[in-house]
């Protein structure tokens, strides 16, 4: 029985000697039996490589590579242009629906309202506090005359102090925002003549 205790003590001491106390602080690095892939042979970003002829580890995508889910046969839907001109109307591939309008409202309120205001009239928190920053009033005639494709292009590529939102909004979401912006413009500039006769009668107009 004595030998059993001696063997057990020996195993405990050996284990502690090899693995150390978990969480204990020490100046020298512990002995690693399994490194758990903590240190792997790898290239660091923007480091040099003797494997490639140009000596760079970072590789450019193959020419004409298109990311999965980023290819659209409808050029107008992807760019907002028909040829070299901005197009009018919504792309044929999008179904105009209340769901699309709701999606546009949701994305607009998240990304656009902080500058352009919830009504699109530039009455926003940015205008209130950033007095030196010009904010576009989207309900003005200048923007009413923008083709739909041009509004989409501004969202995609930015303009002036406005950055691109292509990294935050998908192609479909950008068009949804355009649709909602048109609704805001219509609400700000509409008249009673835009209503049906039945609706005018119902409202007493």
Residue 203 lies in a domain: no
Residue among 133, 121, 90 nearest 112 (CA): 121
> Which residue is it, tokens 């009455």?
123
- Give 144 or 73, the one with higher predicted confidence: 144
Residue 63 lies in a domain: no
The count of structural domains within the chain is: 1
The CATH number given to whatever domain includes residue 113 is: 1.10.760.10
Residue 162 lies in a domain: yes
> Per-residue pLDDT tens for 16-55?
766 665 666 777 776 677 767 777 778 888 888 888 888 8
Query: Could you give the dihedral angle defined by the CA atoms of residues 57, 60, 61 and 63, in that order, rounded to the nearest 10 degrees?
Result: -140
143 alpha-carbon distance from chain centroid: 24
In degrees and rounded to multiples of 5, residue 62 shows phi and psi of: -60, 140
> In the structure encoding, which two tokens stand for residue 162, read together?
């406005």
pLDDT at 90: 93
Domain that holds residue 147: 75-191
pLDDT at 116: 92
Residue 180 lies in a domain: yes
Computed over every residue of the chain, the mean pLDDT equals 85
């Amino acid at each position: 029985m004595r030998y059993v205790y001696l063997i057990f003590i020996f195993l405990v001491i050996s284990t502690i000697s090899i693995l150390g106390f978990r969480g204990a602080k020490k100046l020298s690095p512990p002995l690693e039996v399994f490194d758990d892939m903590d240190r792997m042979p790898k290239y660091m970003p923007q480091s040099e490589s003797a494997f490639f002829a140009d000596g760079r580890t970072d590789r450019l995508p193959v020419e004409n590579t298109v990311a999965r889910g980023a290819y659209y046969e409808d050029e107008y839907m992807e760019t907002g242009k028909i040829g070299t001109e901005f197009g009018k109307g919504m792309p044929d591939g999008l179904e105009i629906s209340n769901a699309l309008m709701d999606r546009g409202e949701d994305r607009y309120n998240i990304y656009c309202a902080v500058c352009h205001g919830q009504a699109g009239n530039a009455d926003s928190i940015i205008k209130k506090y950033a007095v030196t920053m010009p904010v576009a009033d989207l309900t003005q005639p200048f923007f009413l005359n923008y083709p739909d494709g041009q509004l989409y292009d501004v969202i995609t590529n930015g303009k002036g102090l406005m950055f691109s939102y292509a990294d935050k909004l998908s192609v479909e979401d950008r068009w949804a925002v355009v649709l909602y912006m048109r609704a805001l413009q219509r609400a700000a500039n509409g008249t009673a003549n835009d209503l049906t006769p039945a609706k005018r009668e119902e409202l007493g107009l």
